[in-house]
Each structure stands twice: as structure tokens, then as C-alpha cells.
């Protein structure tokens, strides 16, 4: 009996010894979890991991009129991670931005004795009203002075880009009255307000804000001081930020692309037209057309239209008043005046002008102002 017990005890001890000497393997952690937590091997070589989400560095936070605006805070993160902007710089810049929706617009026409804004008496024709905003004697005189001062630069732009001086003169007079009105609002305020406060075109303005910050950094300009229009357009030619990056040139060779500089503005406008298809061999932009009646309702009009000149002549009895050497398709341009409609043919280069501002009236007033200044200066 004792022998049996001893044998049983010996067998149990041997079994326990065998079990204790068996190597216990740790339970493997799934590779997906390893990737998440960044598990390391015993020799300290890191297993490939997915990068953990970055947490924004808040610095002093966003203050001022846009404090707590989540769209702006997300935008700041984007500018930091995608374009390497400094957080502190961005928070300081936007904490000092102002909501332009709360700004009171100045009365540009003056006020009466009761402080009310004076309403100007305007011509009755739609085209006459629009034309009168840009083509008046004082603006023509400004155009003459600008042309005389910058004649060499205008001629150089023509040689390089093929754009005649009068068309650049027309753009500058319409956009800023030759530098008299660059705009009265800070660009940073306009773009931040329209990009972050539920404007109907907020996606467009957010993109312009992104381009504006890149533009000011790359051109070494102070984003907090630049003034522009109610749409954030800048400089003599009123370029928006994306156009600035795409078309602005350093035309005076000082190493800085500055559209508040007249020479850079002249070269940039010429470059814009050239890159948008300007034909340097086509001097004809528009010509007056003849039709029957006082009001034109026969066909669709506008800068987007294109008609065969032959078809207009044969089928609709619409012809140019003077010989037109241009043989391509023409746009039909209707200018409603008080008593009748003027009808014009627009060539390829007219349509190029309207890429600057998508408006038939805009293209025509640029053309007519340039011609008025040219006639006043040269007598032709």
C-alpha cells in the first residue's frame, strides 16, 4: 500500500515538473491593434504603424469677433498642416479680423442737412446709367495722366504680350479709376466674413482666403493691412487672390510682385489677357451693327453668344456698319439706351475681355473708356 502511494506521488511530481518546463507562448495581439498602439519588439524596432490623428496646438486660442467659429478653427488647422503656417500667427491674425457684416457703409455721394444719403439723378437708359459710372470727364483726364506717366511700361506690355495700351487703360479706369479707389475694407476681414459666416458663396471665399494667405506669405506682404473691394479684390487691377497667384507678374523687376505698383499692374493685366487667349493680331474688338427698328428682340444677345456673320447678314439682315476684317463668329451685344437699343458685334478679343469680369456691359465699358482716353490724348 505504501509502495503504491509512493509511486502515485512520484508520478504526480514528474507530471508537474514536465508542465512547468513547457514554454508558455503569449497570446498574439492582432496586427490591426499592433498598428494602432505602435507595439514595439524586444529589440526596440518599431512595427509599422498608422499615424495617430494630430491634435491641434491651441496656443492662446481664437479670440475677437470670430471666437468659437468652428469653420475658422478647422480652416486654421488646414493652413497649418497643408501649408505649414504657424498656429500663433494664424490665431493672432484671425483674432483681430472684423466682421464686415456689422460695418456701416459710408455714403459716397454725400449727405443732406438731415444726414441722409443724397440720391443721384441717373440717366433713364440701362446702358447709359452703367456707362456713366465709369466714363466721365474726370476719369478720362485721369486716364490721360496715367497713360502719359506710364507710356513706356504700356508700350513694353504691348511688345511682350500683344495687348494694346488702350485696353489696359480701360481696365484700370473701370476697376480703380487709375488707383483712386483700391477699396476701403481690409481683405482679411472681407474674406473671413464671407468664408466663415454662411455666405451663399462661402466655398469660393474660403478658397480665396486660402490663396490670400499663401499669396501674402510668398510675396512678403502684410495680410493684416492690405485693403481691397467688397469682394476682396486687390490692387490697380482688382485681382482676387487666385488670379494674383495665377497671373500677377513682377513687371518692374524689383523682385516683388505688387499689384499696388502701377508697373506690375500693367504687366499683370496684359499677362492675364494673353493667358486667356488674346489674339495680338486682332485689333478689332467690337463694331457697331445695323438692324431694323428701335428695340432689338430678334435673337439672344450677350458675350456668350456666337453667330456666323454670313448667317446674320443673309437670314436676319443684321450687318456691320463699317467693314469688319475679322471673319470669325461674333457675339451680339445689345446696349439698351433710353430711346433705342444699340447693337454691336463682338470679336474673339471682346470675349477675352469679358473673362476678366463676366459681363457684356463690363466688356463694352472697358472698350469705350479706353477709346475715349485714346481720342482725348491723340485726337483720334
* Residue 175 annotated to the active site: yes
Q: How far apart are CA 15 and CA 13, in angstroms?
A: 5
CB 128 within 8 A of CB 337: yes
Cell triple for residue 211? Answer: 490663396
Cell triple for residue 56? Answer: 491641434
Length of the chain: 380
Alpha-carbon 119 to chain mean position: 32
Q: Which one of the listed residues 48, 51, 74, 175 is annotated catalytic? A: 175
Sign of CA dihedral 218, 173, 284, 125: positive
CB 60 within 8 A of CB 91: yes
Sign of CA dihedral 268, 222, 178, 285: positive
Give phi and psi for 362, each to the nearest 5.
-60, -50
Cell triple for residue 368? Answer: 469705350
Kindly calculate the radius of gyration of the chain based on its CA atoms and give it in whole angstroms.
34
Q: How far apart are CA 242 and CA 204, in angstroms?
A: 10
H helices present in 261-353, as ranges = 262-275, 309-316, 348-353
Number of CB atoms found within 10 A of residue 376's CB: 14
Alpha carbon separation from 230 to 152, 181, 198, 233, 310 (Å, rounded) = 32, 12, 16, 7, 43
The closest of 334, 340, 328, 325 to 289, measured between CA atoms, is 334
Which residues are tagged catalytic?
175
Amino acid at each position: 500500500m505504501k509502495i503504491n502511494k509512493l509511486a502515485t506521488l512520484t508520478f504526480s511530481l514528474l507530471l508537474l515538473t514536465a508542465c512547468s518546463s513547457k514554454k508558455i507562448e503569449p497570446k498574439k495581439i492582432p496586427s490591426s491593434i499592433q498598428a494602432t498602439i505602435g507595439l514595439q519588439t524586444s529589440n526596440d524596432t518599431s512595427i509599422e504603424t498608422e499615424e495617430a490623428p494630430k491634435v491641434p496646438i491651441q496656443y492662446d486660442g481664437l479670440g475677437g469677433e470670430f471666437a468659437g467659429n468652428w469653420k475658422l478653427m478647422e480652416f486654421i488647422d488646414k493652413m497649418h498642416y497643408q501649408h505649414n503656417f504657424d498656429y500663433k500667427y494664424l490665431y493672432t491674425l484671425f483674432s483681430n479680423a472684423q466682421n464686415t457684416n456689422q460695418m456701416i457703409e459710408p455714403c459716397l455721394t454725400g449727405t443732406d442737412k438731415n444726414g441722409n444719403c443724397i440720391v443721384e439723378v441717373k440717366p433713364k437708359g440701362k446702358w447709359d446709367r452703367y456707362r456713366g459710372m465709369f466714363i466721365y470727364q474726370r476719369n478720362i483726364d485721369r486716364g490721360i495722366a496715367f497713360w502719359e506717366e506710364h507710356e513706356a511700361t504700356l508700350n513694353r506690355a504691348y511688345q511682350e504680350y500683344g495687348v494694346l495700351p488702350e485696353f489696359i487703360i480701360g481696365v484700370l479706369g473701370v476697376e480703380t479709376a487709375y488707383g483712386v479707389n483700391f477699396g476701403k475694407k481690409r481683405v482679411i476681414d472681407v474674406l473671413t466674413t464671407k468664408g466663415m459666416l454662411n455666405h451663399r458663396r462661402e466655398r469660393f471665399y474660403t478658397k480665396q482666403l486660402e490663396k490670400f494667405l499663401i499669396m501674402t506669405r510668398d510675396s512678403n506682404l502684410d495680410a493684416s493691412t492690405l485693403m481691397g473691394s467688397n469682394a476682396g479684390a486687390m490692387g490697380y487691377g482688382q485681382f482676387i487672390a487666385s488670379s494674383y497667384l495665377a497671373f500677377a507678374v513682377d513687371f518692374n523687376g524689383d523682385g516683388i510682385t505688387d499689384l499696388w505698383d502701377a508697373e506690375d499692374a500693367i504687366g499683370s493685366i496684359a499677362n492675364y489677357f494673353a493667358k486667356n487667349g488674346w489674339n495680338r493680331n486682332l485689333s478689332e474688338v467690337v463694331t457697331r451693327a445695323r438692324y431694323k427698328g428701335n428695340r432689338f428682340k430678334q435673337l439672344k444677345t450677350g458675350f456668350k453668344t456666337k453667330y456666323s456673320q454670313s448667317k446674320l447678314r443673309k437670314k436676319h439682315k443684321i450687318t456691320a456698319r463699317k467693314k469688319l476684317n475679322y471673319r470669325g463668329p461674333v457675339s451680339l451685344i445689345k446696349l439698351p439706351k433710353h430711346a433705342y437699343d444699340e447693337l454691336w458685334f463682338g470679336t474673339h478679343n471682346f470675349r477675352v475681355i469679358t473673362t476678366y469680369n463676366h459681363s457684356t456691359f463690363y466688356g463694352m465699358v472697358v472698350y469705350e473708356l479706353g477709346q475715349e482716353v485714346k481720342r482725348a490724348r491723340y485726337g483720334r
